[in-house]
């Protein structure tokens, strides 16, 4: 839990070896590498497409209410 | 060396994109959300022996209704009992266990259907599947909150939206599979359950292996937690699950969830019959099925909408919206019936169902605000006993009251009116329970020595 009154803890645990300051942009701000972008797209497609199909099938059924 | 399934093994590397986590949560919830579509099997299961018609030895609807009830009971019970374990083990282990329980529940249930043994179905889908429901439901919650501390509501809303969406996928998929497997000697249900069990096991396992936990101290880039205003609900320290359930705040949240769910769940179960009886001659079975579909869409959409909105206006204000709008809409329903206004009737229930879904989706973030994030999974698990109670209270209130009204001579199209007023009253009670929620006293948090475990009056 982040406590605003304490100094912010760095992104690495204290058991990890010290590192040079990371000059790369933080994960969210940077354009993800091609591999990770592909995984991101595929994971969202894997859950999004079945969900979209289910929504479309349900919308077809709901049309009967308006006829 | 940490085992493959342990939390320590799945600490994310520094360049990990947190937007890879919601699909894992959605994979879990889209599968377990099938529970809301179980009624699609009701008619074929009443004709399992007769195939085209029900024989005397076929199962009755009253027997089949217990499958869902047992599953929801074990959802709440397992979430409460295993919540601490889920919190401690991490999402990969608990996600995999949920996958095994949910998948195996279908397989054992399929065997029960094939052997025409209802007790095997109760044991499979109800008990084992119910445990998969409960463990799977709470698995992604604390992981999402730790990855999205800046958008807790939106993150958990996405996952729990998946639970609502699961029925939208399962219903047409089940119909397709049953058509595929049906034959002159089989309704196709047992084979459908077999396929569904294997598919869900695979998909949920894939989701489980996709989870990562953030490294200790990780925060989103550029995010600074805003300093808590005095009296604000944002917890500075964590409350253990054992301590949380001794607080007034926990039981107020329990009432909030229980009554919000009660008000919605009874309606969901009776929506088709209700609209046909209130608007007899205007709405046929096909249109009623469309109404049920529309409610499912609004249930799903409401989960994401209200939970995301709660990040902007706060959790307490979000539930206040539910408990001000909700009673007004329930009270409007009898009027819509008297006016013969299908549009008003449908509109009222669509908004009500968004708040039903929103109540589920916003509660994890509310719990994190009140009790801290460290044990939110376990506390959430204990709170889900409210769902188990509501799962019985809601349908009982709607069905038994309707029967009582009809036997008292009330016409069928007016038989739901008293129930609507009672639901409105439940939401008014929940309004006051929500209003009573204040920050937890610091002596009950992990920061301060424990104070003997007595209930908090702060």
Domains of chain B: 13-210 (1.20.1250.20), 241-444 (1.20.1250.20)
User: Which of B215, B235, B290 has the CB atom closest to A62's CB atom?
Assistant: B290
More confident site: B319 or B456: B319
The tokens describing B350, both together, are 């669509």
pLDDT at B191 over 80: yes
Given CA atoms B132, B133, B135, B141 in this order, what sign does their dihedral have? positive
pLDDT at residue B277, as a whole number: 83
Mean pLDDT for the stretch of residues B243-268? 92
- Closest chain A C-alpha to B8 CA, distance in angstroms: 12
pLDDT at B266 over 80: no
SS3 content of chain B, % helix, strand, coil (to 5): 75, 0, 25
The tokens describing B243, both together, are 């301590």
Distances (CA, A) of A62 to A56, A59, A65, B296, B302: 10, 5, 5, 10, 17
Alpha-carbon span B32 to B130, nearest angstrom: 9
Which pLDDT band, with edges at 50, 70 and 90, does B229 fall under?
Answer: low
Q: What is the mean pLDDT of chain A?
A: 67
State the ipTM, two decimals. Answer: 0.85
pLDDT at B252 over 60: yes
- Closest chain A C-alpha to B263 CA, distance in angstroms: 23
pLDDT at residue B276, as a whole number: 84
CB atoms within 10 A of CB B179: 10
Alpha-carbon span B58 to B64, nearest angstrom: 11
Name B183's bridge partners.
Answer: B186
Distances (CA, A) of B75 to B79, B129, B353: 6, 8, 21
Among A52-66, B9-23, B238-252, B366-380, where is mean pLDDT lowest?
A52-66
Which pLDDT band, with edges at 50, 70 and 90, does B227 fall under?
Answer: low
The tokens describing B354, both together, are 């968004």
CB atoms within 10 A of CB B344: 16
A41: exposed, middle or buried (Cβ count in 10 Å: 0-12, 13-18, 19+): exposed
Q: Quick check: B388 and B126 in contact, CB under 8 A? A: no
A43/B23 Cβ within 8 A: yes
A22/B287 Cβ within 8 A: no
pLDDT at residue B406, as a whole number: 80
Which pLDDT band, with edges at 50, 70 and 90, does B233 fall under?
Answer: low
Among B19-23, B43-47, B101-105, B230-234, where is mean pLDDT lowest?
B230-234
**Residue B51: left (phi > 0), alpha (psi -120 to 50), or beta?**
left
User: Which of B165, B286, B372 has the CB atom closest to A54's CB atom?
Assistant: B165
User: Which of B14, B30, B290 has the CB atom closest to A47's CB atom?
Assistant: B30
Q: Report how many Cβ contacts below 8 Å link chain A to chain B.
A: 129
Can you spell out the DSSP letters for B111-149? HHHHTT-HHHHIIIIIIIIHHHHHHHHHHHHHHHHHH-T
Q: What is the mean pLDDT of chain B?
A: 89
Provide the 3-class DSSP secondary structure of residue A5.
Answer: coil
Q: Quick check: B307 and B361 in contact, CB under 8 A? A: yes
Q: What's the DSSP call for residue B374?
A: T
Mean pLDDT for the stretch of residues B28-38? 94
Residues 19-58 of A with CB under 8 A from B: 22, 24, 26-30, 32-33, 36, 39-40, 43-44, 46-47, 50-51, 53-55, 57-58
Residue B183 has phi, psi (to 5 degrees) of -150, 175
pLDDT at A7 over 70: no
A50/B294 Cβ within 8 A: no
Centroid of chain to Cα B366: 15
Which pLDDT band, with edges at 50, 70 and 90, does B359 fall under?
Answer: very high
User: Which of B218, B226, B236 has the CB atom closest to A11's CB atom?
Assistant: B218
B171/A27 Cβ within 8 A: no
Mean pLDDT for the stretch of residues B303-310? 95
The tokens describing B5, both together, are 């399934």
Those residues whose C-beta lies under 8 Å from the C-beta of residue B355, and which sit 6 or more positions away, are: B260, B264, B302, B306, B321, B322, B325, B326
pLDDT at B439 over 80: yes
A46/B290 Cβ within 8 A: no
pLDDT at A3 over 60: no
CB atoms within 10 A of CB B281: 6
* Percent of chain B surpassing pLDDT 70: 94
pLDDT at B163 over 50: yes
For B20, the closest chain A residue by CA position comes to: A40
pLDDT at residue B394, as a whole number: 84
């Amino acid at each position: 839990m982040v406590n605003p009154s304490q100094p912010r803890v760095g992104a690495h645990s204290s058991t990890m070896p010290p590192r040079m300051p990371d000059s790369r942009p933080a994960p969210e701000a940077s354009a993800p590498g091609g591999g990770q972008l592909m995984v991101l797209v595929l994971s969202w497609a894997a859950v999004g497409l079945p969900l979209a199909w289910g929504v479309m099938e349900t919308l077809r059924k709901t049309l009967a209410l308006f006829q | 060396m940490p085992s493959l399934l342990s939390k320590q093994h799945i600490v994310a590397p520094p360049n990990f994109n947190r937007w890879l986590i919601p699909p894992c949560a959605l994979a879990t919830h889209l599968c377990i959300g099938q529970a809301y579509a179980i009624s699609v099997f009701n008619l074929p299961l009443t004709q399992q022996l007769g195939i085209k018609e029900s024989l005397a030895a076929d199962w009755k609807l009253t027997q089949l209704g217990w499958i869902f009830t047992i599953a929801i009971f074990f959802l709440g019970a397992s979430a409460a009992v295993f919540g601490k374990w889920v919190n401690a083990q991490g999402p990969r282990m608990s996600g995999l266990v949920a996958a095994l329980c949910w998948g195996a529940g279908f397989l054992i249930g399929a065997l029960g259907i094939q052997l025409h043994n209802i007790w095997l179905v109760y044991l499979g889908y109800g008990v084992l599947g119910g445990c998969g429901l409960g463990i799977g439901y709470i698995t992604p919650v604390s992981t999402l909150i730790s990855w999205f501390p800046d958008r807790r509501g939106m993150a958990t809303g996405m996952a729990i939206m998946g639970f609502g969406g699961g029925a939208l996928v399962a219903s047409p998929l089940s119909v397709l599979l049953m058509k595929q497997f049906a034959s002159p000697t089989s309704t196709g249900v047992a084979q459908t359950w077999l396929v569904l069990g294997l598919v869900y096991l695979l998909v949920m396992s894939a989701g489980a292996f996709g989870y990562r936990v953030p490294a200790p101290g990780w925060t989103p880039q550029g995010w600074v937690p805003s300093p808590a205003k005095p009296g604000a609900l944002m917890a500075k320290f964590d409350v253990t699950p054992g301590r949380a359930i001794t607080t007034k705040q926990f039981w107020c949240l329990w009432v909030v969830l229980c009554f919000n769910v009660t008000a919605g769940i009874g309606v969901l179960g009776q929506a088709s019959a209700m609209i046909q009886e209130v608007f007899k001659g205007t709405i046929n079975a096909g249109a009623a099925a469309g109404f049920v579909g529309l409610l499912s869409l609004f249930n799903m959409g409401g989960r994401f909408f209200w939970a995301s909105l709660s990040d902007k206006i706060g959790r307490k204000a979000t539930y206040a919206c539910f408990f001000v709008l909700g009673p007004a809409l329930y009270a409007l329903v009898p009027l819509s019936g008297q006016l013969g206004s299908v549009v008003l009737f449908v509109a009222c229930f669509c908004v009500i169902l968004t708040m039903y879904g929103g109540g589920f989706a916003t509660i994890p973030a509310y719990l994190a605000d009140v009790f801290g994030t460290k044990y939110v999974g376990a506390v959430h698990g204990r709170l889900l006993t409210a769902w188990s109670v509501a799962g019985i209270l809601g349908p009982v209130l709607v069905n038994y009251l309707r029967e009582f009204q009809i036997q008292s001579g009330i016409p069928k199209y007016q038989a739901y009116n008293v129930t609507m007023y009672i639901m409105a009253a439940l939401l008014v009670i929940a309004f006051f329970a929500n209003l009573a929620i204040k920050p937890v006293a610091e002596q009950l948090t992990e920061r301060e020595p424990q104070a003997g475990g007595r209930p908090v009056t702060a």
